[in-house]
Structure 1
Amino acid sequence: MTDELVPGALAGVRVADFGRVLAAPYATMLLADLGAEVVKVERPGVGDETRSWGPPWSDEGESTYFLSVNRNKESRAVDLGSPEGREEAMALVASCDVVVDNFRAGTMDRLGLGPDELLARHPGLVVCSVTGFGSGEGAHLPGYDLVVQAVGGLMSVTGSPESGPTKVGVALVDVITGLHAVTGILAALRHRDRTGEGQRVEVNLLSSLLSAMTNQTSAYAVTGQVPRAMGNEHPSIAPYELLQTSDRPLAVAAANDKLFGLLAAGVGRPELAHDPRFARNSDRVEHRRVLVAELEDALREEPADHWFDLLSGMGVPCGPINDLGQAVALADRLGLSPVHEVAEPGRAPVPTVAHPITMSRTPATYRTPPPLLPR
């Protein structure tokens, strides 16, 4: 990672960003980090809804939610409800390679900015639409992360039998959908560069969630069995869960027989690896309760940090439960530079979370902080 102003991998790509809230703005920020020029279109006087989503607020009174997904962008106030605003938006599109929106399906069509209209005028354009439930039978449904976590099955496998259905602690479906949008946009740009032909890219929250639930969705598709919430246990691996130590839980991911053998030796119970109840992973899953009791009996002799150092040194994947401050401190200690400050003249530096991709020749850059509300 570097803060030097070097041409990014997407230098020369211009993006018209009609996105709001999280999924589309996250996608366009990642594109901007990699060198694309992103122009964010906002409602005059109001801007993106997340500008008002707080607390928490920065020292300058800005929403930390908005700050999280809008760096490296220029902002323009455009009234899409007026003929003049739509004309301005169309002029912006004419100068761009990519258009991104996450309005409810059909909204851009009603504004005269729909994919068919834009592609008819600009055949080389990549037009990416992010919706909640697709552009077909689900077009009328609004897409909010909480609702999709509920109807998409994620809440049903999150939490425990005691807690009941539980949402993930961040709008993860929006983030995953944003990542899928970036993948589709980059693939479409590759095709455009090869053939000159643009295209429409569609992603939706529900499909993105079902894909991201990978083994759980596959288990249902293959067997018809509906997975259930198992707390911190894994349906197919043991031990792959939280185990209690003398002071706090330790996450242990002994995902194969070799790792289990190392774990057993590390906690001073090497005989467990030779016990027929625990010899193979399927045996350990079947006898999970007994296995956990045996392991926790040994682990309760020392605190979690002791076991983290000892077992990690042996190659056993494990770690204590960190709060976010401890997680950032760990990333910093590992040399991952998790937070960068971005500044511009006349404005206090804005801390921003690092772009997650490292590239040796065209690294992500942090050129400008999230834009102030245009006047």
Structure 2
Amino acid sequence: MAARRDIVNQVPGALSSIRVLDLSRVRAGPTCVRMLADFGADVIRIEPPAGVDPNDTMFAEKRRGGDFQNLNRNKRGLSLNLKQPEGVKIFRELVATSDVVVENWRPDVKVRLGVDFQALSRLNPKIILASISGYGQDGPYAERPGFDQIIQGISGLMSVTGTPASGPLRAGIAVADSSAGLYTALGILIALFEREKSGRGQWVHASLLHSQIAMLDFQAARYLVDGDVPKPTGNDHPTAAPMGMFRGNDGVFNIGVSGSGQWEALCRAVERVEWINEEKFHSSQARVKNRLELNTELQAIFLGNNVKHWVGLLNSADIPAGPIYTIPEMFDDVQVKHLRVVQPVRSSAGPPIPVISQPINLTRTPAQLFATAPDRGEHTDEILHELGYLREQIDWLRRKNVV
């Protein structure tokens, strides 16, 4: 395998022996592949030549923008027209020397193009195909287009988001896309580990719908086991109190009290020790039942000082508490800076671009951010040369709009 670009003289990544062909777009697929790329996999992002896909501007309208760069850093770019037989031929040649293919087309597209798992495994029995879809690879909804907000609604997430007065609300992030991408990355790593024993690849597939339902976690379990239908509770935790948002005299903050020890510590911190033995607040269930009265009492106390005072006082008493930041305030926080959440990535077309670093830390083989997202087809010639194509062959493929 050719050396990774811009990574010479750096510590080899944990996945440096792995080559990934990235056919994915939008968010779920790139989220999955980004994790593999950051840990050293040789990721080849495959896109059609300009003008081939009528939805091009929808999926990569602002290539130098933060979102595209954050999702697609650390990859090489190959332009390839899979609607032409010569393009499929090149793709099949790449499959023969690769470990993973990631796609998030509708389920029938890969079969139509001849790049489904059965076809790929005939070329390379060790290949792992990872497929991300909206609703699953089969079933009554399989052919439906799946977008994050649609999945947030059908999964039940929106029914528990918001307040009783607001009605259903979408989450402020693309949680269905992101969770499906992360679950798929986990599946790929499991398949790679299993391949060490069997020597065989397999088909890994995940859906936005199933992933989002899995992310409901305790909310879904409450219904399945207890028959308790979750309702939206706004900023209050549905099963614990006091746990939610309160206002100081200069802003807002969150507190979280769980268990009798933290409850008693809170009573002492706000100088209301008499609450400890009051029947209406004595147990977690009682505090949830009498949440409105308890929150009203606490709010009156918290208005007597500022957010910094309360966050410091409560944390010193081992009670979880924290300010509610805007995005700029969050990036300015001392702990966020300490964690190096933001890291610059070198760019060949301007100043470094700040991106979000991987939240997973490995001591010997950490994630590395070494290159911005590739321009469309930026490394086409390089990759085709690796496959043995000559200059005149590449020029011919370009004239035919294959690459």
- TM tier relative to shorter chain: over 0.9
Mapped pair 1:28 → 2:33: yes
Take 1:343 and 1:68, find their aligned partners in 2: how far apart are those partners?
A: 12
Q: Decide whether the 8 Å contact of 1:42 with 1:48 is kept in 2.
A: no
Q: Structure 1 residue aligned with 2:102, among 100, 106, 113?
A: 100
Take 1:252 and 1:274, find their aligned partners in 2: how far apart are those partners?
A: 21
What corresponds to 2:390 in structure 1? Answer: none
Q: Decide whether the 8 Å contact of 2:340 with 2:357 is kept in 1.
A: yes
What corresponds to 1:219 in structure 2? Answer: 222
Q: Structure 2 residue aligned with 1:243, among 243, 246, 253?
A: 246
Q: CA deviation at 1:344?
A: 4.2
What corresponds to 1:58 in structure 2? Answer: none
Letter in 1 for 2:43: V
Q: Structure 1 residue aligned with 2:293, among 290, 294, 303?
A: 290
Instruction: Give 4+ residue runs of structure 1 displaced > 6 Å after superposition.
Output: none
Which range moved further: 123-132 or 274-283?
Answer: 274-283
Q: Which runs of 5+ in 1 are unaligned?
A: 54-60
Mapped pair 1:194 → 2:203: no
User: How many residues are aligned here?
Assistant: 366
Take 1:331 and 1:187, find their aligned partners in 2: how far apart are those partners?
A: 36
Q: Which runs of 5+ in 2 are unaligned?
A: 1-6, 379-403
Alignment RMSD, CA only? 1.7
What corresponds to 2:130 in structure 1? Answer: 128
The 1:332–1:294 alpha-carbon spacing in structure 2 relative to 1, beyond 3 Å, is closer
Q: Structure 2 residue aligned with 1:19, among 16, 24, 28?
A: 24
Q: CA deviation at 1:346?
A: 5.0
Take 1:374 and 1:329, find their aligned partners in 2: how far apart are those partners?
A: 36
Mapped pair 1:160 → 2:163: yes
Q: Decide whether the 8 Å contact of 1:20 with 1:48 is kept in 2.
A: no
Q: CA deviation at 1:244?
A: 2.3
Take 2:170 and 2:16, find their aligned partners in 1: how far apart are those partners?
A: 38
SS in 2 for 1:212: helix
Take 1:307 and 1:72, find their aligned partners in 2: how far apart are those partners?
A: 42
SS in 1 for 2:60: helix
Which range moved further: 102-111 or 220-229?
Answer: 220-229
Letter in 2 for 1:34: F
Which range moved further: 117-126 or 150-159?
Answer: 117-126
The structure having more radius of gyration, on CA atoms, is 2
What corresponds to 2:84 in structure 1? Answer: 82
TM-score (norm. length: structure 1): 0.93
Take 1:345 and 1:214, find their aligned partners in 2: how far apart are those partners?
A: 43
Q: CA deviation at 1:48?
A: 7.6
Kindly provide the CA deviation profile for residues 131-173 of structure 1, in whole angstroms up to 9, marking residues without a partner as x.
0000111211111101000111111111112222111111111
Q: Decide whether the 8 Å contact of 1:148 with 1:173 is kept in 2.
A: yes
What corresponds to 1:52 in structure 2? Answer: 61
Residue identity (%): 34
Mapped pair 1:149 → 2:152: yes
Q: Decide whether the 8 Å contact of 2:331 with 2:337 is kept in 1.
A: no
The 1:258–1:68 alpha-carbon spacing in structure 2 relative to 1, beyond 3 Å, is same
Take 1:95 and 1:331, find their aligned partners in 2: how far apart are those partners?
A: 45
What corresponds to 1:268 in structure 2? Answer: 271
Take 1:248 and 1:367, find their aligned partners in 2: how far apart are those partners?
A: 39
Take 1:340 and 1:64, find their aligned partners in 2: how far apart are those partners?
A: 13
What corresponds to 2:47 in structure 1? Answer: 42
Q: Decide whether the 8 Å contact of 2:13 with 2:365 is kept in 1.
A: yes
TM-score (norm. length: structure 2): 0.87
Q: Decide whether the 8 Å contact of 1:50 with 1:65 is kept in 2.
A: no
SS in 2 for 1:202: strand
Q: Decide whether the 8 Å contact of 2:248 with 2:306 is kept in 1.
A: yes
